[in-house]
Structures are given as structure tokens and as C-alpha cells.
Amino acid sequence: VRITNDEGYSFDGYVAEFFRGEDNEDGIDSIGVSKDAEHLGGIEISENNIVSIQIIK
């Protein structure tokens, strides 16, 4: 995927995990993103001003 925020910053990686907000204590939808063998960390979709998440090949 390619993830872009509202400041135009983007990075490519793959979704390693997805958490639905209703299943989390904090109620926030989030995805865990990795690139190669490096885990880039979790991204809280509703709190990081994500503009787009694109599938790339």
C-alpha cells in the first residue's frame, strides 16, 4: 500500500495487521504497516490525517 497524509508525505509498505476500532479499547481503527523486514509501526487512521491508502503493485 501507499499511505499519504494531509501534508503530502507518503510511504510504501504492506499492511501487516488491521485493527477495527470497535475491537480495541481506544475505539480507533488502525493498521500496522511494514516495509521489507522492518515494522514501521501502527497508524491510527482517524488521528493521523490520512488522506489516502492506495493499493500498489
Residue 45: predicted pLDDT? 64
- Specify the amino acid at residue 22: E
Q: 10-54: per-residue pLDDT in tens? A: 878 887 777 777 777 777 777 777 777 666 566 666 656 777 777
What whole-number distance in Å separates Cα of residue 8 and Cα of residue 46?
Answer: 17
Give the predicted TM-score (pTM) of the model: 0.52
Give the separation between CA 27 and CA 14, rounded to whole angstroms: 23
Q: Where are the domains of the chain?
A: 2-54
What is the reported pLDDT for 41?
A: 60
